[in-house]
Amino acid sequence: MVPIPNVSGDNNVVKRLLVVEDDCDIVGLIRHALRSDGCQNIEVVGSGQAVLESIGNDPPDAIIRDLNLPDVNGFEVGRIVRSRARGGEIPIIVVTACQSEADRVLALDLGADDYVTKPFSLKELVARVRADGEVRSPGVYRGKHLNADFAVIAISVDGQPIRLTRREFGLLHYLVPNRNRVLTRWQLIHRVWRGVDEIDARTVTVHVGRLRAKLGKAGEQIDILFGVGYRFVEGQS
């Protein structure tokens, strides 16, 4: 058996996982892989409505979900989760048989942090759960528009709190300390998607675009250097 990276070690925040999947065989594989690695608190639901009820009662540390649900469109579930209180903080990993670029981009646009196509590697899936649940190192930034306290995951623009997904937060936390320095897409992939294979440049583009949009005026500080990478510019705008 291929060894699976640790998910539930002392430094990992993924203590409770919600799996949204109506295929019993796939549920069994996911549950076995994660429990074998020590993640014991795994809730399994098979419908979009059950997802919304679960995050309302006791929000999980991460969600693994299928796009093909019997009652609610999987894309719509992602949008609703992100709109709920604390929903923006929950890492969402989509696991689906849909392999088109359009489906991948739409899922990311509607709040997914990662997208894994079936059939998938259990080793890769567990690595993605681990990467999405990482706690970033502390730090504080105070700018003209942007204020960020990375230790407590508190981001605001012009005094208004901004809710970011884990990936968006990870990107900002890598770009800001490296301000005025150009970072390539592959550097971002290595730092923000660490331990995860097969992340393409398009995924980074979608996440950076979404981050810039959420930051509003402060988003203009993230320069896009086409064909090169990205740079957070101190004092711009």
| Domain extents in the chain | 16-132, 140-232
Residue 54 has pLDDT above 60, yes or no: yes
- Alpha helices in the chain, H assignment, sequence order: 24-36, 48-57, 74-83, 101-109, 122-132, 166-175, 185-192, 201-215
50: CB partners within 8 A, 6+ apart: 20
Instruction: Please tell me the predicted confidence (pLDDT) of residue 160.
Output: 94
The mean pLDDT of 181-187, rounded to a whole number, is: 85
Percent residues over pLDDT 70 in the chain: 85
pLDDT of residue 213: 96
> How many Cβ atoms from other residues are within 10 Å of residue 118's Cβ?
12
**∠ CA 16-22-40 to the nearest 5 degrees?**
25
Of the candidates 217, 221, 135, 126, the one whose C-alpha atom is nearest the C-alpha of residue 170 is 135
Assigned superfamily of 16-132: Response regulator (3.40.50.2300)
Alpha-carbon span 92 to 186, nearest angstrom = 22
| pLDDT value for 91 | 79
Does position 162 have pLDDT exceeding 90, yes or no?
yes
Decide which of 168 and 104 is more confident: 168
DSSP state of 185: H
Helix axes of 48-57 and 74-83: crossing angle, nearest 10 degrees = 20
Higher model confidence: residue 142 or residue 199? 142
The amino acid at 187: Q
Per-residue confidence (pLDDT) for residue 14, from 0 to 100:
67
pLDDT of residue 8: 45
Please state, rounded to an integer, the average pLDDT across all residues of the chain.
81
pLDDT of 85 above 70: no
Structure tokens at 129: 């759960």
pLDDT top residue among 124 and 84 = 124
Residue 4's pLDDT band, with cuts at 50, 70 and 90, is very low
Count CB atoms within 10 A of the CB of residue 145.
17
Nearest to 112 by CA among 96, 123, 100: 96
- Residue 1: its pLDDT value, please? 30
Cα(61)–Cα(14) distance, rounded to whole angstroms? 5
Quote the pLDDT of residue 132: 66
At residue 197 the predicted structure's pLDDT band, cuts being 50, 70 and 90, is low
Task: Name the pLDDT band for 236 (thresholds 50, 70, 90).
Answer: low
Q: How far apart are CA 202 and CA 107, in angstroms?
A: 13
Asked if the model's pLDDT at residue 203 lies above 80, the reply is: yes
Three-class secondary structure of residue 78 per DSSP: helix
Cα–Cα distance for residue pair 120/135, rounded to 1 Å: 25
Mean pLDDT value across residues 66-78: 81
Return the DSSP state at 116: E
Q: Name the pTM for this structure.
A: 0.60
User: Letter for the amino acid at 125?
Assistant: L
Q: Which residue has the higher pLDDT, 8 or 181?
A: 181
Average pLDDT over residues 39-64: 85
What pLDDT, on the 0 to 100 scale, is given for residue 133?
61
Mean pLDDT of 173-187: 86
CATH for 140-232, options being 2.40.40.20, 3.30.460.80, 1.10.10.10, 1.10.40.30: 1.10.10.10
Q: Is the pLDDT of residue 161 over 50?
A: yes
Vertex 19, ends 167 and 88: CA angle to 5°?
A: 35
